[in-house]
Structure formats: C-alpha cells, structure tokens
Structure 1
Amino acid sequence: MARFQELRAGRAHRFVVFKVDDSLQQVVVDKVGPRESSFDDLTAALPADDCRYAVYDHDFTVGDATAVVADGEAPRSKIFFVAWSPAAADVRSKMVYASSCEGFKKELDGVQIDLQATEPSELTLDVLKDHVS
C-alpha cells in the first residue's frame, strides 16, 4: 500500500498497477507510472490477456468538469480505481480478481471513482472525463 499512499498523499506517481501474486494470496505492485506518465501509459501497462487492478490520479480543470467557480478554471484531481478484466483473460484469473476486488478496494482510502473495464474502449480518457463532469 506504500505506493498507493505515495500516489494519494505525496502525488509521487501518476498510476500504480496491481496484480494478484502467483500464490493467489495477496495483491502486489506490478507497475508504477511516474508523475509525468499519461493515461495512455496506464492503458499500455495493462495486459491484454490478464486481469489487473489500477489506480490513476487524473488531473483536470473545473472547466473540463463543467463545474462553475467564481475566478475561472481551477486545477483538480480525482483518483480512479480500475478493475481491468479483459475478455482474453482466463476464467480462473477473472474469478480471483472478482472475488478479491471489494476487499482490496477497502484498503485504498481516497479512491473517488470506480471503473470496471473489459476492453480498451471502456477505458479511455473520454470515459474519465465523463466521470468528472
């Protein structure tokens, strides 16, 4: 959870990708995206044939989110949780990730928006923008 805390509190990372370890007993860090990473870097870090969890720190301005502020646009940030379960993943992997998802999310204090995606079209920058507007 240290990497997630670094993302949430210290804003040290743009994203963290997690996987269930080989023993199927715990969730471990798979990849970490530095602060200058893009959303495309996150989607590229997700395997096409296996499940993962990810958290992504999405920066936007209130103008992007269609919120009104007196002094114009102001920067904002929201942390997204992504449950990635592609169609090409084997059934066992999908079952393991589905059964451990809620428990793992409870450990991620500060996540504001949950997404589930099974294909790349469900995980785009436009989808994120829809959730902050």
Structure 2
Amino acid sequence: MTSGVNVAKEVADLYDDIKFKKTLKVAFFRISDDKKSIIVDTENQVKWNQEDPYSTFVKMLPEDDCRYIVFDVSYVTNDSGDKTQLVFISWAPESAPISRKMVHASSKSYIKKELELSNEWSLTDKAEAGDWKDLACKLKGAVIVEGRQV
C-alpha cells in the first residue's frame, strides 16, 4: 500500500543541517494535515546544548499522533571512542487514530529513502522510549549513550 505522500524540501534541508552543521540534536517530522506531505514539525526540536536531550525528546512525543524523528545520538565505544550516529525513529502510539497510523506506516519508506537512513527504532508507547538501552542496542559497541552507562 502506498500513501502518495511526498517529502517536503524543508525536510531534506533540515536533515542536511543536522547532519553537516549539527544545528539540532533531535528533529521531528510529521504528516501534514491534508495528508499529502511529510513536513517539519516546527514545534518540536531539540538543540545540541539542551540538557538531557534524551529525556527532552521523550517528553516531546505526542500522546495521540505519529511522528518521524531523527536523533543525532552521541555515544562512546571501547574501540573507537566518541561517536555520533543519526537514528531514524518511527513514533506511532497506540492512542493515535487508525487512519493516522496507516498513513504514517505507508509513508515511512519515503522519508527513510529521502534521508538515506537505515538505522531505525520503532516506538509505540513512552514506556518503550523510556528504556534508552534499546536505543543503545542499535549502536554497535556502545558502552555510553547520551552520557548514560550501558
């Protein structure tokens, strides 16, 4: 099933800023109200200088709507030291309307392809997000993630 949703140019522009200029730590994207585009969720962004960006990100997850999120995760490995990696997060809470979850699910491949992201974490409730160690499992060899010992 395809949704016919396109990815707005502003999404790629913001992603480039995150990846190359390190302007944001976490960026949220959403389906537009007319369900025709994936757009930047301008109300929800986390800057690099934000204290405890992980907890801030979790608090920003909407209770009843879906989001695509790019998190520039900082971590440490024993082999190569400090690293960062962009992780794609799909947020589709159980309480979101079925129609929103269906469009979200059928559009996910479009944004992942546009941003060329493969490392994905899918979340359906804040309890899953609260266990940041699941995120650590996505990062090969991570011993510290966002300042937390694994």
TM-score (norm 1): 0.87
1:34 counterpart residue number: 47
Cα deviation for residue 122 of structure 1 reads: 2.1
- The one-character-per-residue Cα deviations of 1:17-49 (angstroms, maximum 9, x if unpaired) are 001011101011112211123111111111011
2:23 counterpart residue number: 12
2:66 counterpart residue number: 51
Cα deviation for residue 9 of structure 1 reads: 1.2
Superposed structure 1 runs of 4+ greater than 3 Å apart = none
Q: What percent identity do the matched residue pairs reach?
A: 24
Q: What secondary structure sits across from 1:13 in the alignment?
A: coil
TM-score (norm 2): 0.78
- The one-character-per-residue Cα deviations of 1:37-77 (angstroms, maximum 9, x if unpaired) are 311111111101111100000001113xxxx25xxxx2101
CA RMSD of aligned residues (A): 1.3
Q: Give, as a single letter, the amino acid of the residue that structure 2 aligns with 1:117.
A: L
Structure 2 runs not aligned, ≥5 long: 1-11, 142-150
- The farther-off stretch of 120-129 and 93-102 is 120-129
Q: Give, as a single letter, the amino acid of the residue that structure 2 aligns with 1:91.
A: I
Matched, 1:130 2:130: no
What is the aligned length?
Answer: 124
2:35 counterpart residue number: 24
